[in-house]
Amino acid sequence: MSLSTESSQYIPPELLDHIFSYLTVLRNGTCENDAKHLYNACLASRQLYEIALPQLYATIRLDISSHQVKLLLRTLQEKPHLALAVKEVSIECTTDYYALALQSFLQELIDRMHNVVLLRNDRRSCTTRFINTVLYKKGGGYSMGVPTDLNNLRSLELFAEDLVFKYNYILRLPQLQRVCLNATAVVDYHQEDMTWPDNWGWTSYSIKELILRPCIRSMVDRRWDIPLLLRSNSLTALSRCMPALEALTIEHFNPENHHKIGFRVLAIFFVPQLSGSLRRLEIRDGCLNPTDVGSGLTPLLNPQDSKAIFEGIGASALTHLAIDLGTFRHGNVCEDLFDLAMGSMPTLLRRLTLHYDDTSSTGIIASILEWDIKIVVQQVRCRCPKLTEIDLDLRINGGSKIDRPILQQYKEEFQAVGINFHIPEHKYSPPNNRSINHTNYMLRIPTDFIHSTPTSLALTLPRAL
């Protein structure tokens, strides 16, 4: 069917807006090339420019030390409608030298961008200046009050450390739905937390997702004879202020740390959410180094407490559970791994994700392969009648032997009962040692149960034609 010359002379503006929206959709974590092409399209005509420009300003990643700050502020002053188009802002602050410039920028930013949905930063100084700008108003001295700006903010990512506990009002935003606390100081090294409150005096029923990324000091920065003490009061207060959580992720901020602190934080502080509103739970504790066992630094639960929390998971209403297989380890041995795993599966579970990192060849993958596959499939289907997806993420040392036919048999047996069993494969090499050969069965990230974390876009800010 041929189009007439008259009808093909132009594209209606309402369709152009949808086209540009599609071009700027994030794919595989980035759309920078799409943004560059879109920017070039802006130069084609006044019509394209006016339609595409707000799309370019919707997501901004900004280095506070660059000249982009002045250009951005000048543009937003001249074109207020672009400030209203901004939805996501990521602030990079490479050094503390630009802290004051950051605070000045934030003051201008918050006054102009009323529709920001996501705001993130990557450094303690960024969080400090953000707190000073939002909580301490001009002329207000050191009196902290409920934040009145950023009322439309839905997602907040902070380089938290202990600041989020000291200045907890920063989370008291009326429409905040997602909180990501990077480098959270969950360990009380100086034993100061006992003087802090365990109840902040406010609750937020709008916060549905919490991503907690604890940061633990490396071995060279602490003594071996001092046990890890959690910030009990602060973590209790954090849990109390988010009673309606539907998704909880606890994973290490430092990938090289393998202490099972995430499981302990869940067992002690988030039991009310687990037995109530929680629908998605992910615990990424990694693989335990056997040299850490018995050192006093590994905050493992005793078998009785472990059994109790697994029973709590099994009795919950979770629909998606993501957990490390290493969590089932007690000390250097695996005790009743299969029975413990089966007992922790919620009956309403729809998706199960199992992570396993065995880069030290000390893991329990052999125990998995020794299970009777038909019995496993039968009991999983009996325990979880609604289960439709299993994702197995195996990071195996090159020296470990993997029986690929057995893994394929797992896949076939689960698919026979209506459960998709995913084991995608590709090569993996750790960034700190490219000479080590690793085989990685990577997880296919499910998108329907995970609140996706938007990835910010680095843009060259266009000037007016």
Q: Is residue 376 part of a domain?
A: no
Sign of CA dihedral 186, 191, 192, 197: positive
Tell me, rounded to whole angstroms, the distance of Cα 251 from its chain centroid: 8
Give the residue carrying structure tokens 């974390």: 453
Instruction: Supply the pLDDT for residue 103.
Output: 74
Give the residue carrying structure tokens 């929206």: 21
Q: What's 420-452 look like in SS3? A: EEECCEEEECCCCCCCCCEEEECCCCCCCCCCC
Higher-confidence position of 215 and 203: 203
Quick: pLDDT tens for 146-202. Answer: 676 777 889 999 988 899 998 888 898 888 999 999 999 888 888 899 999 999 999
Question: Using CA atoms, how far apart are residues 248 and 276, in angstroms rounded to an integer?
Answer: 13
Q: Is residue 43 part of a domain?
A: yes
Q: Is residue 227 part of a domain?
A: no
Q: Is residue 240 part of a domain?
A: no
pTM comes to: 0.77
Higher-confidence position of 384 and 361: 384
Partners of residue 329 on adjacent β-strands: 334
Q: Is residue 34 part of a domain?
A: yes
Quick: pLDDT tens for 362-420. Answer: 445 555 566 778 888 888 898 899 999 999 887 766 545 566 787 888 889 999 999 99
- Its domain, for residue 31, covers 12-56
On average, the pLDDT of the chain sits at 72
Query: DSSP readout, 247-313?
Result: EEEEE-SSTT---THHHHHHHHH-HHHHTTT--EEEEE--PPPGGGTTSS-S-PPPHHHHHHHHHHH
Question: Using CA atoms, how far apart are residues 235 and 309, in angstroms rounded to an integer?
Answer: 17
User: Cα torsion at 148, 151, 157, 158 (round to 10°)?
Assistant: 0
Q: Is residue 22 part of a domain?
A: yes
* Residue 435 confidence (pLDDT) above 90: no
Q: Is residue 35 part of a domain?
A: yes
Q: Is residue 45 part of a domain?
A: yes
Give the residue carrying structure tokens 């005509």: 45
Number of domains in the chain: 1
